[in-house]
Amino acid sequence: MNNVKSKLRIPSHHRYKLSDENHAVELLTHTFTCQKMAYIHENPVRSGWVEKADDWLDSSQRNYSGLESLIEIDIADIGWM
């Protein structure tokens, strides 16, 4: 089992990537990173599951809004709030 975990680790020198239309994109700029985070946080709203992103209990948006959350994250210094 330890061998599987070590193979799944992403080296720290690699940049974080998100998928954009099934193509990985590098998060190179602050503006682009904020745009992608906002897009992800708004997915439950666009789907009609909640009225605002803060209402989705499994979203890191709750952490950024200073609300109690089901998940723990390291808050990125995004400066959008």
Average of per-residue pLDDT across 11-35: 69
Query: Tell me, what's the pLDDT at 5?
Result: 43
Q: Is the pLDDT of residue 45 over 90?
A: yes
Burial code (b: 16+ CB inside 10 Å, e: under 16) for 13-41 equals eeeeeeeeeeeeeeeeeeeebeebbeeeb
pLDDT range class, residue 3, cuts 50, 70, 90:
very low
- The whole-model pTM stands at 0.59
Average of per-residue pLDDT across 32-43: 88
Domain range list for the chain: 15-74
